[in-house]
Amino acid sequence: MTPTPTATQAPDRSPTTAAPAHPYAGSGLLILRLVLGLTMAAHGSQKLFGWFGGGGISGTGKFFTASGYPAGNTMAVVAGLSETLGGLGLAAGLLTPLAAAAIVGTMINAIAVKGTGSFFAPAGIEYELLLTAAAAALALTGPGRFALDRFLPVLRDHRPAFGALAVVLGVVLAGAVLLARS
């Protein structure tokens, strides 16, 4: 039985009083953040620096131009920074909602470029869709207990509204970029 607050005590309605999380939830979210974040950071470094067999800004810029985006090199930098910084942010659990939004927006554009001709790899969108869903899920659930966000007062107690707003921001910005595509 839960004790009733006395006249001098206010009931505790903080988000941390909800049902306790599974004891290994933090570890599971850490694994998801590390794998997704480092994968995306590696993709971004392909675009920015040509690492891991990537095209660098010049090669990626040509791809963006051929895909109908204006200012291909600028788009390569934007995509590369979004993937690299978003990925590193997810891996560290730092500014998780915004890091996830960067990944969501970039992956929506990747899905649009690939088209919907097929679902399964190598020509399909299954990989990009999985990355998008994982990033959105992290934005909504929060980074877990092993994250740098725990040291930021605004993000210490995860609020699902922040995650939802971040996902909406990622979708809206992705849509704006897609509108610029010819």
Q: What is the DSSP letter of 147?
A: S
* 181 C-beta neighbours (distance < 10 Å), count: 14
User: pLDDT-derived band of residue 159, with 50, 70 and 90 as boundaries?
Assistant: confident
The lowest-confidence range among 71-75, 96-100, 143-147 is: 143-147
Paired tokens of 91: 């891996």
Cβ 180 vs Cβ 113: under 8 Å? no
pTM: 0.84
Residue with more model confidence, 42 or 4:
42
Provide the pLDDT for residue 121.
81
Provide the pLDDT for residue 15.
42
Report the candidate in 93, 178, 105 with the shortest Cα–Cα distance to residue 136. 105
Provide the pLDDT for residue 74.
96
CA-to-CA distance for 58 and 75, rounded, in angstroms?
Answer: 11
Check pLDDT > 50 for residue 143: yes
pLDDT tens column, 15-55: 442 345 688 888 999 999 999 999 999 999 999 999 999 99
Mean pLDDT, rounded, for 78-86: 97
Cβ 167 vs Cβ 136: under 8 Å? yes
Check pLDDT > 90 for residue 152: no
- C-alpha separations of 61 from 50, 107, 117 in Å: 12, 17, 24
Q: What is the DSSP letter of 111?
A: H
Provide the pLDDT for residue 13.
42
Provide the pLDDT for residue 12.
43
Percent of the chain at pLDDT exceeding 70: 87
Provide the pLDDT for residue 115.
83
Residue with more model confidence, 102 or 11:
102
